[in-house]
Structure 1
Amino acid sequence: MTRVSPWVLGAVLVLCGVTAVVLVVHLVRDRAAEDGMFVLLGLTELVLLGQLVAGCIALGSTERDVEGTLFVSYLVGTALALPIGAFWSLAERSRAGTAVVLLAVLTVAALEVRLDAIWAGAV
């Protein structure tokens, strides 16, 4: 097994991709983030919270040589990025707030890819 769960990686990357496209459209139109985007963020966050729990369980029950502290810190960081970006966007109801959410979504996608590499042993 090279990944904790390949479907979670795929689901998070697809959700991040869809959300990023919607956010880019809003940036081009010079609009603030809307409720529909926060629904996508919430759905992505639910998957990330499930991944946090499943990842900690998998780490505790694996024989792999995984750097535990690094792995858990990436799990937690991935789970925190979207809520921080969303709250920042709610405080800044402008195009800049939409850009902050886009950066949070792109950060989650990058952290997700790195998390998969850490699990595979590429520290």
Structure 2
Amino acid sequence: MITGFGVAVAACSAAVAVWSFVLAARGREPRRPLLYALGFVELLLVAQLVVGVVLLVGGERPGSMATYLAYLIGSLVVLPVGTVWALAERSRSSTVVLGIACVAIPVMVLRLSEVWHGASA
């Protein structure tokens, strides 16, 4: 796993989370700019999936393959599920839901990195 890329994904997601919480504090519902930012984070997560698969095909192995794949694929699902949930009822609360989904991404990336480096530790 490329640590620098994981840090970039986590930082972008954390920035979008802060933005979501600020919008929620101001009583705003999610609008297009926030949704575009979520889409950008999702693209980063897809790139992370591609990098992860390329590393696996290249012969590198994580500490636990099943856990690694679960976090790798699971991280792709969090934002779309949060977005569908938030857009079902656009309100201040739905903006909080998006912020919480974004907070989950850095946690999952951290766990992904820990599982990956578990093989060499």
Give the % identical residues.
34
**Equivalent residue for 2:114?**
117
Distance 1:29 1:93, change over 3 A: same
Deviation of residue 63 (structure 1)? 4.3
- The secondary structure found in structure 1 opposite 2:85 is helix
Decide whether the 8 Å contact of 1:56 with 1:72 is kept in 2. Answer: no
| Aligned partner (choices 54, 69, 75) of residue 51 of structure 2 | 54
Deviation of residue 87 (structure 1)? 1.1
TM-score (norm 2): 0.90
Q: Which amino acid aligns with 1:34?
A: R
Q: How many residues end up aligned between the 2 structures?
A: 120
**Equivalent residue for 2:78?**
81
| Aligned partner (choices 75, 87, 99) of residue 90 of structure 1 | 87
Partners in 2 of 1:44 and 1:60 — Cα distance? 24
Across the aligned residues of Structure 1 and Structure 2, the Cα RMSD in angstroms comes to: 1.7
Q: Which amino acid aligns with 2:10?
A: L
| Aligned partner (choices 104, 107, 110) of residue 107 of structure 1 | 104
**Equivalent residue for 1:66?**
63
| Aligned partner (choices 22, 27, 37) of residue 25 of structure 1 | 22
Q: Which amino acid aligns with 1:85?
A: G
Structure 1, residues 38-71: CA drift from partner, whole Å, max 9, x if none?
1111111011011112112212323445211110
Which residues of structure 1 form unaligned runs of 5+? Answer: none
Which residues of structure 2 form unaligned runs of 5+? Answer: none
Deviation of residue 6 (structure 1)? 1.9
Structure with the larger RCO, 1 or 2 (CA within 8 Å, 6+ apart): 2
Decide whether the 8 Å contact of 2:11 with 2:106 is kept in 1. Answer: no
